[in-house]
Amino acid sequence: MSKKRLPVAVFAYNFPHKKTQDFLFNLKVSNIDVRIILAAESIKLNIPEPTIRTKIRHIGVVHPREIAEAFGFPYSVVKHNSEKAVLQIKESGAALGVIAGARILKAHVIDAFPLGIVNFHPGILPEVRGLDAVLWSIFENKPLGVTAHLIDDKIDAGKLLLKKKIPLFCDDTILDITERIYETQLEILANALDMAMQKKAHPLPKGKYHKKMSPHLEQKVLSIFPKYLSLHAGCKEVL
């Protein structure tokens, strides 16, 4: 067995959540030293429901507490931006944080880690910051992919660790693309943490921040998607 890597704290959700589940599985397989899971309760967001579906509806997701018990990961239900969370981070000895499910983290939480907190953004930074990154990438004719970065107190900013574009196929749907972007986050997870440990990060230039896409533009994305594939995947556009 390979030796354990850098000690980390995982920001997660305290309810069944696909990303939280899969990140914890991946960290275990990669022999990452998980010192604590900081699991936050659900928060109702004031964001309108999309008019088009961009994510697969998963079933059979395992509660993160069950995963923690099976793997021997310390587990704490705590508000991520609380002083209690900061105290638990410092007591755990975690040098690095990794986001497997969290809302916006504040500066005092980020500063609790000697090496910072790694986030995986479902878009190429700094070109596509903010919400609905997949839809905005298609709308603005930008490449699709994932960016691993060390966060700061700005949204989708900080220091770049690595970015990876996804392959595209002529029969792709938007659901295919969002799932492939998600799988790419898992693919680069261990490598990104190693790069953070080795301090191989570079400042991210400031890019345009994107708000929640309007229903009108969501429908526009659907109409231009075939043309997007024709340009980026070499497909013949169906007229």
Question: What does the pLDDT read at residue 121?
Answer: 97
Question: What does the pLDDT read at residue 1?
Answer: 43
Question: What does the pLDDT read at residue 142?
Answer: 96
β strands within 93-236, DSSP E: 96-99, 117-121, 129-130, 145-150, 159-165, 202-203, 209-210
Q: What is the DSSP string of 172-199?
A: --HHHHHHHHHHHHHHHHHHHHHHHHTT
Could you tell me the domains of the chain? 7-232 (3.40.50.170)
Mean of pLDDT values over 197-217: 92
Round to whole Å and give the CA distance between 170 and 143: 15
Model confidence at 47, in pLDDT bands (50, 70, 90)? confident
Read off the pTM.
0.93
Q: Check residues 73 and 45 and name the one with the higher pLDDT.
A: 73
Question: What does the pLDDT read at residue 135?
Answer: 97
Question: What does the pLDDT read at residue 235?
Answer: 77
Say whether pLDDT at 238 is over 70: no
- Which has the closest alpha carbon to 213: 130, 155, 119? 130
pLDDT in tens, 76-120: 999 999 999 999 999 999 999 999 999 999 999 999 999 999 999
Query: What's the DSSP call for residue 126?
Result: T
Side chain identity at 63, as an amino acid letter? Answer: H
Model confidence at 237, in pLDDT bands (50, 70, 90)? low
Q: Please, what is the average pLDDT of the chain?
A: 93
Question: What does the pLDDT read at residue 153?
Answer: 86
Question: What does the pLDDT read at residue 84?
Answer: 98
Say whether pLDDT at 148 is over 70: yes
Mean of pLDDT values over 61-66: 98
